[in-house]
Amino acid sequence: RLGANGRLIALDRDPSAIAAGQAITDERFTLVHARFAELADVLDELGVTAVDGVLLDIGVSSPQLDDAERGMSFRQDAPLDMRMDTSRGETVAQWLARADEADIREVIRDYGEERFASAIAKAIVAARSERPVDTTYQLAQIVASAVRTREAGQHPATRSFQALRIFINKELEELSLVLPQALAVLKPAGRLAVICFHSLEDRIVKRFMADQANPPQPPRGLPLRADQLPRPTMTLIARIRARSEEVAANPRARSATLRVAEKVA
């Protein structure tokens, strides 16, 4: 879709994604092994001062879920890794081996919205006293033993796996850091589009865009000129969910939300 003079710059923290992207030989395409939060630094190194649009696809990817060795899913037994960037950082197994019960409970509660977080944390600490918790099946069984009830069709470990993955990859922090960078680098009338897959991500994007479109105003009665009042920096364009046809072809799209906002000229 790019014109002859168009340019696409892609960032991904996953070495496997970088390897796959290197098969694209189009001269208009630049691929960088970096986190979203490094967007401003990457563009600066490339000599790019402004862009027409930014698209952020947040969260885990299908290849990461489908590769058992990544440890993202409990559907196959594998090392308990969950890192998006396998070249650096601590695995979930390593963190669970050293974290105290309170920290485990907090992560599972806050990032997984899991009401049985306390029981799950206790079960993990008890289990690791006997042997290391270092495989996906092992963790899934521990969680299942501590969760008393669960929504129909959902595995008891779903929320806990989500929470640990989000935490170990600092996914919400990365999203919060990249949004203002994306706004800063957009040209006037440039658009920011963000695809999220669960409520924690979407809440951050929704609030950021809403704050830019409707900045907080000073108390009434302050002696300020009109040009001193906070002005909107973005206009809300769309909130889009996958239609039934798309979900039928790609079931993982069912939880996706796309939000789009445009930088005020």
Question: Which residues does 184 contact at the CB level (< 8 Å), separation at least 6?
Answer: 40
Nearest to 177 by CA among 23, 75, 34, 7: 34
pLDDT at 227: 74
Please give the Cα distance from 67 to 119 (Å, whole number): 29
pLDDT at 31: 97
Exposure of 218 by Cβ count < 10 A (0-12 exposed, 13-18 middle, 19+ buried)?
exposed
pLDDT at 223: 81
pTM of the model: 0.90
Ramachandran sector of residue 59 (left: φ over 0; alpha: ψ -120 to 50; beta: rest):
left
Nearest to 108 by CA among 45, 51, 165, 47: 165
- The first and second tokens of residue 184, run together, are 């800063």
Residues of the chain with pLDDT under 50: none
pLDDT at 107: 98
pLDDT at 184: 97
- The first and second tokens of residue 36, run together, are 């979203």
Longest CA span, the chain:
68
pLDDT at 112: 94
- The first and second tokens of residue 103, run together, are 């920290």
For the chain, the residue count is 265
pLDDT at 158: 92
pLDDT at 119: 96
pLDDT at 69: 86
pLDDT at 148: 76
Contact 186, 257 (CB under 8 A): no
**3-class SS at 9?**
strand
pLDDT at 49: 96
Contact 236, 211 (CB under 8 A): no
